[in-house]
């Protein structure tokens, strides 16, 4: 604490010092003084002295005189004033050290604000020296201090560049910039020669501390690939000393050049994570498999070197990265195990049913029921007869699945509102069990469509808005629909007649009958009853002209199948089929040859119980050549033995889940798979290097059949066990019961009064029940008890003859 004169006279040229001027006893700067005092030691390490100068009262010189000068600290180098700091910028040791070094290292650390600045610096540095680029969210922070301290040491070796601009952070290519944390890149500009390319960068993966920066710079400074010609057990590099693994690429004289390139490639990838050494195995006598090509030495002492046979450089990288991961995972798992042990009993009361949970999360939302009539026991029958078609949803207000369907049902009612002759209604079976049992509703939910209040059709399709709407609309029209004229029949085949149905189905079936063929007609009509709501079926009775059958060159009885999209009509002659066969045939005809598999239609194709040849595509394939090739396969000879299909991942995103289950990593799309869903559950992947053509697919299928391919995956055979245990009340009762006084009804106090010999006389029935009564008598109110007041009577045991009512 010298005086101003003494201070200025003591300043040495080239030495930096931080001075703070104060009048003795001025109290306001006290906290600041504390900070600056504690920073003195840190600054000492950098040869910077910290001085508090005591101004005499009368001093009016430059530093002591002005009031506001006293709120500042001054940095001198020699006699030269370098910077003056407002004291509020020096709030703690970190900020003091950072600010002072920042001022002193003005040339060594470049502060930039724009990307152009950065690029300019990079350009200049190329071929000369490396760059350390740091981003700190604010100056004066601990990270800022760490960067400045590192710059003090390495500032002459590397060019340090600092920014506080978040925009720059984004520009330097980190995908997910977290602007609130600091970030440091090592840019290898010294070896960069191409002026067009930016320098290679290696980010510091750890938090910005002086130690981590030091370690990082040290690793960056180490040679990229160390060439080793001695026993790897004895080798030690910077990496091992810093606790990182060392990867050896085992090299031979013949392949040296390639190995060298591999080693460098790997080294770049692993920079900062592991060291890479090239081991010339010709020069070292190694007792390892000849096939081994990689060795891994870990920094842990006593761990033997692992020799491995790897095929890919990626594997080397994952090997190292997983080593780190394994550690992390192990730690996490340990945590988890603890959690699990803890959870074991608590998890049971957590809802794990997706439907129940979803419905209960939605329960507070009021459902839009304006379009739906709520039926009761009073209005049920009258409402049914009030409309041509009454759709009734039977549900239970406590049952999750039916509540889920109710939500879709409201959407259907809203979508179809105003459709003439259709009334939407619902019955809560919890309120009106009578109606539900009368209508034979045993499952929730159930949808029935009543025709003029009389017979009803049970809805048996998917509980989706689309499917329900389509069913309701299709069942408005009789099935099969009798077509009177040729025009109607033609319009029907084009999907234009009846017009209200056109949006709901793309396939039309037309039965063509001559009047003579009544048996086939009857079967067709019955099939129509069964398929009502699912299929568009029409019927045309021809007169003698046979115009329709001639046009499509079929002879009645026949079935015309029109795909409105394909605009083609296919004719099928009907033999003497039973109704069931006809239904089966129609269902089969409705299936596509090369369908797009969706959540909704998969069950139809699964019912064929055939393996699937399925193409997973990222989007629509209608424009792709894959489709043509696949279609050829689908139409080919082999079609009977499998289902050729495709899946649009955009439309059916859950397909990602399927691929993720089959493959550890997402394969490149499109990917063609053979999935044996019904037998063995094996999944085969069409080789990605081959193009998807009919020839390739067929020859691949041949190989599959011959057993020459290995499956990429096999579907789990696991049973659907209970997800969690139930409460074991039986066991709880067993453990708790011994403590419970089960036989407290037999009071021990009563026994001495009963002569032993009399016990057998009592019959078993009284023994159990009235024992409580005797207990009650014994403890009855003294003085009020008749027997208590006549003691001699008490001795007479008359239990056997007691009046049982009392």
Partner 1 sequence: LALILCIGSLCTESSTTFLYHDYCIIGAGPSGLQAAYFLQRAGRDYVVFERSHAPGSFFALYPRHRKLISINKQYTGKSNSEFNLRHDWNSLLSHDRRLLFRRYSRDFFPDADTMVRYLEDFASLLKLQVQYNTAIVHVMLEKNEQAWNGHYFLLTDQDKKSYKCSSLLVATGTWVPNVVNFPGSEYVEGYETVSINPEDFAGQTVLILGRGNSAFETAENILGVTNFIHMVSRSRVRLSWATHYVGDLRAINNGLLDTYQLKSLDGLLEGDLEDLAIIKDKKGKLHITLRFYLENRNISAGIDSITLPQDELDNFATRAPYDRVIRCLGWKFDFSIYNRSLRMMPGKGNIRKYPQIKPSYESRGTRGLFVLGTASHSVDFRKSAGGFIHGFRYTTRAVHRLLENRHHGVPWPSTVYPITQLTNSIVKRVNEASGLYQMFSVLADIILLREHPKTHTTATTGAKYPVGVLAELEMQTGRKAPNGLFIIIMEYGRNFSGADKDVFYYNRAVGEAQHAWQSNFLHPVIYYYKRLPTEREMRLRPPDWPLPRPDAIHHIVEDFLTDWTAPNAHILPLRRFLENCLGTDLRNFFAESCFLFAFTRQKLPPFCWQGYMRMQGLVGSEGLRHHAVQAGLLQDYTLTDSSGDRPPHSHNRAQDQLLRDQVISIRPLQHLVNAKDE
- Where in 711-750 is the site for partner 1 (CB under 8 A)? 715-730, 732-733, 740, 742
Give 309 or 618: the residue with its C-beta nearer to partner 1.
618
Query: Residue 777 Cβ, how far from partner 1 at the closest point, in Å?
Result: 6
Q: Which of residues 85, 450, 662, 700 is near partner 1 by CB under 8 A? A: 662
Give the rounded distance of the alpha carbon of 271 from its chain centre.
31
Examine residue 454 and tell whether it contacts partner 1 (CB under 8 A). no
Element (H, E) at 568: strand 568-573
Give 27 or 722: the residue with its C-beta nearer to partner 1.
722
Examine residue 777 and tell whether it contacts partner 1 (CB under 8 A). yes
* Residues between 461 and 480 with contacts to partner 1, criterion CB under 8 A: 461-465, 467
Give 234 or 743: the residue with its C-beta nearer to partner 1.
743
Query: Residue 332 Cβ, how far from partner 1 at the closest point, in Å?
Result: 8
Distance CA 630, CA 610 (A): 17
Distance CA 466, CA 257 (A): 64
* Residues between 315 and 334 with contacts to partner 1, criterion CB under 8 A: 332
Cα angle value 199/204/209 (rounded, 5°) = 135
Examine residue 759 and tell whether it contacts partner 1 (CB under 8 A). no
H-helix segments, 532-574: 547-551
Query: Residue 365 Cβ, how far from partner 1 at the closest point, in Å?
Result: 8
Q: Which of residues 26, 114, 181, 442 is near partner 1 by CB under 8 A? A: 442
Query: Residue 664 Cβ, how far from partner 1 at the closest point, in Å?
Result: 9
Locate 83 and state its tokens: 């910077």
Query: Residue 448 Cβ, how far from partner 1 at the closest point, in Å?
Result: 14
Only segment of 164-172, 228-236, 602-610, 691-699 that touches partner 1 (CB under 8 A) = 602-610
Q: Which of residues 2, 177, 433, 498 is near partner 1 by CB under 8 A? A: 433
Examine residue 571 and tell whether it contacts partner 1 (CB under 8 A). no
Q: Are strands 713-714 and 671-675 parallel, antiparallel or unpaired?
A: unpaired
Only segment of 82-90, 107-115, 558-566, 598-606 that touches partner 1 (CB under 8 A) = 598-606
First vs last C-alpha separation in the chain: 107
Give 284 or 776: the residue with its C-beta nearer to partner 1.
776
Give 230 or 620: the residue with its C-beta nearer to partner 1.
620
Examine residue 630 and tell whether it contacts partner 1 (CB under 8 A). no
In contact, 186 and 217? CB cutoff 8 Å: yes
Examine residue 407 and tell whether it contacts partner 1 (CB under 8 A). yes
Query: Residue 782 Cβ, how far from partner 1 at the closest point, in Å?
Result: 11
Examine residue 787 and tell whether it contacts partner 1 (CB under 8 A). yes
Locate 299 and state its tokens: 């920094």
**453 Cβ contact list (under 8 Å, min separation 6):** 381, 384, 385, 386, 390
The dihedral built from the CA positions of residue 44, 47, 48 and 54, taken in this order, carries a sign that is: positive
Only segment of 265-273, 545-553, 555-563, 675-683 that touches partner 1 (CB under 8 A) = 675-683
Give 43 or 675: the residue with its C-beta nearer to partner 1.
675
CA atoms within 13 A on the CB side of 684: 19
Examine residue 646 and tell whether it contacts partner 1 (CB under 8 A). no
Query: Residue 609 Cβ, how far from partner 1 at the closest point, in Å?
Result: 11
Examine residue 760 and tell whether it contacts partner 1 (CB under 8 A). no
Q: Judged by CB under 8 A, how many residues of this single chain contact partner 1?
A: 119
Only segment of 231-239, 397-405, 476-484, 569-577 that touches partner 1 (CB under 8 A) = 397-405
Q: Which of residues 229, 516, 599, 695 is near partner 1 by CB under 8 A? A: 599
Distance CA 774, CA 585 (A): 80
Q: Which of residues 120, 236, 354, 385 is near partner 1 by CB under 8 A? A: 354
* Residues between 208 and 247 with contacts to partner 1, criterion CB under 8 A: none
Examine residue 780 and tell whether it contacts partner 1 (CB under 8 A). yes
Only segment of 74-82, 203-211, 241-249, 429-437 that touches partner 1 (CB under 8 A) = 429-437
169-189 burial: b if 16+ Cβ within 10 Å, else e: beebeeeebeeeebbbbbbbb
Examine residue 353 and tell whether it contacts partner 1 (CB under 8 A). yes
Q: Which of residues 341, 350, 756, 757 is near partner 1 by CB under 8 A? A: 350
DSSP result, 31-96: HHHHHHHHHHHHHHTTTEEEEEEEEPTT--SHHHHSTGGGGEEEEEETTEEEEEEEGGG--SHHHH
Examine residue 803 and tell whether it contacts partner 1 (CB under 8 A). yes
Query: Residue 174 Cβ, how far from partner 1 at the closest point, in Å?
Result: 16
In contact, 426 and 446? CB cutoff 8 Å: no
In contact, 36 and 73? CB cutoff 8 Å: yes
Examine residue 355 and tell whether it contacts partner 1 (CB under 8 A). yes
Element (H, E) at 701: helix 694-706
Distance CA 331, CA 339 (A): 13
Give 357 or 625: the residue with its C-beta nearer to partner 1.
357
Only segment of 5-13, 407-415, 475-483, 748-756 that touches partner 1 (CB under 8 A) = 407-415
Query: Residue 579 Cβ, how far from partner 1 at the closest point, in Å?
Result: 20
Give 491 or 747: the residue with its C-beta nearer to partner 1.
747
Task: Give all strands of the β-sheet with 109-111 in edge-to-edge order.
Answer: 109-111, 159-163, 131-135, 183-188, 200-203
Number of Cβ within a 10 Å radius of residue 518: 11
Only segment of 131-139, 198-206, 216-224, 645-653 that touches partner 1 (CB under 8 A) = 645-653
Query: Residue 333 Cβ, how far from partner 1 at the closest point, in Å?
Result: 10
Query: Residue 195 Cβ, how far from partner 1 at the closest point, in Å?
Result: 34
Q: Which of residues 89, 401, 572, 585 is near partner 1 by CB under 8 A? A: 401
- Looking up tokens 């407002």 gives 86
Distance CA 81, CA 72 (A): 13
Query: Residue 375 Cβ, how far from partner 1 at the closest point, in Å?
Result: 12
Distance CA 214, CA 463 (A): 64
Question: In Å, what is the CA distance from 291 to each residue of 180, 252, 281, 288?
Answer: 49, 12, 12, 8
Q: How large is the angle between the packed helices 354-361 and 400-415, nearest 10 degrees?
A: 60
In contact, 182 and 134? CB cutoff 8 Å: yes
Give 504 or 552: the residue with its C-beta nearer to partner 1.
504
Burial category of 244 from C-beta neighbours within 10 Å (exposed 0-12, middle 13-18, buried 19 and up): buried
Give 32 or 444: the residue with its C-beta nearer to partner 1.
444
Only segment of 42-50, 406-414, 570-578, 750-758 that touches partner 1 (CB under 8 A) = 406-414
Distance CA 360, CA 651 (A): 28
H-helix segments, 347-399: 354-361, 380-384
Only segment of 96-104, 285-293, 557-565, 786-794 that touches partner 1 (CB under 8 A) = 786-794
Query: Residue 505 Cβ, how far from partner 1 at the closest point, in Å?
Result: 16
In contact, 204 and 212? CB cutoff 8 Å: yes
Q: Which of residues 174, 190, 604, 771 is near partner 1 by CB under 8 A? A: 604
Examine residue 661 and tell whether it contacts partner 1 (CB under 8 A). yes
Examine residue 559 and tell whether it contacts partner 1 (CB under 8 A). no
DSSP result, 269-291: HHTTT-EEEEEETTTS---S-TT
Q: Virtual CA dihedral for 174, 177, 179, 183, nearest 10 degrees?
A: -40
Give 264 or 467: the residue with its C-beta nearer to partner 1.
467
Only segment of 206-214, 457-465, 504-512, 638-646 that touches partner 1 (CB under 8 A) = 457-465
């Amino acid at each position: 604490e010298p005086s101003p004169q003494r201070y200025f006279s003591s300043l040495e040229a080239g030495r930096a010092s931080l001075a703070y001027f104060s009048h003795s006893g001025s109290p306001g700067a006290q906290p600041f003084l504390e900070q600056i005092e504690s920073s003195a030691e840190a600054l000492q390490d950098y040869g910077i002295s910290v001085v508090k100068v005591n101004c005499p009262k009368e001093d009016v010189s430059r530093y002591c005189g002005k009031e506001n000068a006293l709120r500042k600290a001054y940095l001198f180098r020699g006699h030269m004033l370098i910077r003056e700091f407002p004291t509020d910028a020096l709030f703690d040791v970190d900020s003091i050290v950072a600010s002072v070094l920042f001022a002193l290292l003005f040339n060594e650390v470049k502060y930039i604000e724009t990307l152009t600045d950065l690029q300019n610096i990079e350009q200049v540095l190329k071929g000369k020296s490396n760059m350390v680029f740091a981003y700190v969210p604010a100056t004066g922070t601990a990270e800022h201090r760490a960067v400045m301290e590192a710059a003090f040491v390495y500032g002459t070796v590397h060019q340090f560049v600092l920014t506080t601009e978040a925009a720059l952070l984004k520009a330097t290519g980190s995908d997910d910039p977290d602007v609130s944390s600091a970030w440091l890149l090592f840019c290898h500009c010294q070896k960069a020669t191409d002026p067009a390319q930016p320098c290679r960068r290696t980010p510091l993966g750890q938090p910005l501390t002086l130690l981590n920066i030091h370690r990082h710079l040290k690793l960056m400074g180490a040679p990229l690939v160390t060439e080793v010609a001695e026993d790897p057990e004895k080798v030690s590099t910077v990496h091992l000393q810093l606790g990182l693994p060392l990867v050896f690429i085992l090299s031979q004289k013949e392949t040296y050049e390639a190995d060298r390139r591999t080693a460098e490639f790997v080294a770049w990838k692993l920079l900062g994570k592991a060291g890479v050494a090239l081991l010339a195995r010709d020069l070292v006598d190694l007792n390892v498999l000849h096939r081994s090509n990689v060795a891994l030495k870990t920094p842990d002492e006593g761990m033997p070197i692992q020799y491995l046979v790897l095929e890919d450089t990626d594997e080397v990288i994952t090997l190292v990265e997983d080593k780190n991961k394994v550690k992390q995972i192990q730690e996490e798992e340990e945590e988890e195990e603890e959690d699990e042990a803890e959870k074991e009993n608590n998890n049971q009361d957590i809802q794990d049913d997706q439907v129940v949970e979803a419905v209960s999360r939605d329960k507070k939302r009021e459902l839009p029921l304006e379009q739906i009539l709520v039926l009761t026991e009073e209005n049920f029958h009258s409402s049914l007869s009030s409309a041509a078609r009454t759709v009734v949803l039977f549900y239970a207000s406590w049952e999750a699945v039916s509540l889920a369907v109710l939500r879709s049902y409201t959407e259907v009612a809203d979508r179809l509102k105003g459709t003439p002759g259709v009334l939407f209604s619902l019955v809560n079976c919890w309120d009106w069990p009578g109606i539900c049992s009368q209508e034979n509703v045993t499952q929730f939910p159930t949808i029935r469509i009543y025709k003029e209040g009389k017979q009803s059709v049970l809805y048996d399709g998917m509980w989706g808005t689309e499917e329900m709407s389509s069913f309701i609309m299709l069942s408005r029209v009789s099935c099969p629909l009798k077509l009177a004229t040729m025009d109607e029949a033609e319009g029907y085949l084009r999907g234009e007649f009846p017009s209200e149905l056109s949006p709901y189905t793309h396939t039309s079936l037309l039965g063509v009958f001559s009047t003579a063929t009544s048996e086939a007609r009857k079967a067709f009509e019955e099939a129509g009853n069964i398929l009502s709501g699912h299929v568009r079926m029409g019927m045309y009775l021809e007169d003698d002209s046979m115009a329709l059958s001639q046009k499509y060159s079929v002879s009645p009885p026949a079935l015309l199948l029109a795909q409105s999209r394909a605009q083609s009509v296919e004719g099928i002659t009907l033999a003497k089929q039973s109704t069931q066969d006809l239904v089966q045939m129609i269902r089969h005809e409705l299936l596509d040859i090369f369908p797009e598999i969706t959540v909704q239609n998969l069950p139809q194709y699964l019912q064929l119980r055939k393996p699937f040849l399925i193409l997973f595509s990222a989007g629509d394939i209608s424009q792709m050549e894959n489709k043509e090739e696949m279609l050829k396969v689908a139409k080919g000879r082999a079609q009977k033995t499998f289902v050729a299909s495709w899946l649009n991942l955009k439309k059916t995103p859950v397909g990602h889940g399927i691929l993720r289950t089959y493959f550890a990593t997402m394969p490149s799309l499109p990917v063609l798979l053979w999935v044996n869903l019904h037998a063995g559950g094996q999944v085969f992947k069409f080789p990605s290097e081959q193009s998807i053509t009919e020839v390739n697919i067929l020859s691949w299928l041949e190989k599959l059949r011959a057993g020459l391919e290995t499956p990429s995956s096999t579907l789990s055979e696991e049973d659907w066990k209970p997800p969690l245990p139930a409460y074991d009340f039986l066991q709880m009762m067993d453990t708790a019961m011994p403590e419970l006084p089960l036989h407290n009804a037999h009071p021990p106090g009563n026994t001495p009064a009963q002569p032993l010999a009399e016990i057998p006389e009592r019959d078993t029935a009284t023994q159990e029940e009235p024992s409580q009564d005797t207990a009650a008598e014994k403890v009855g109110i003294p003085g009020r008890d008749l027997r208590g007041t006549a003691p001699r009577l008490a001795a007479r045991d008359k239990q056997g003859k007691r009046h049982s009512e009392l």
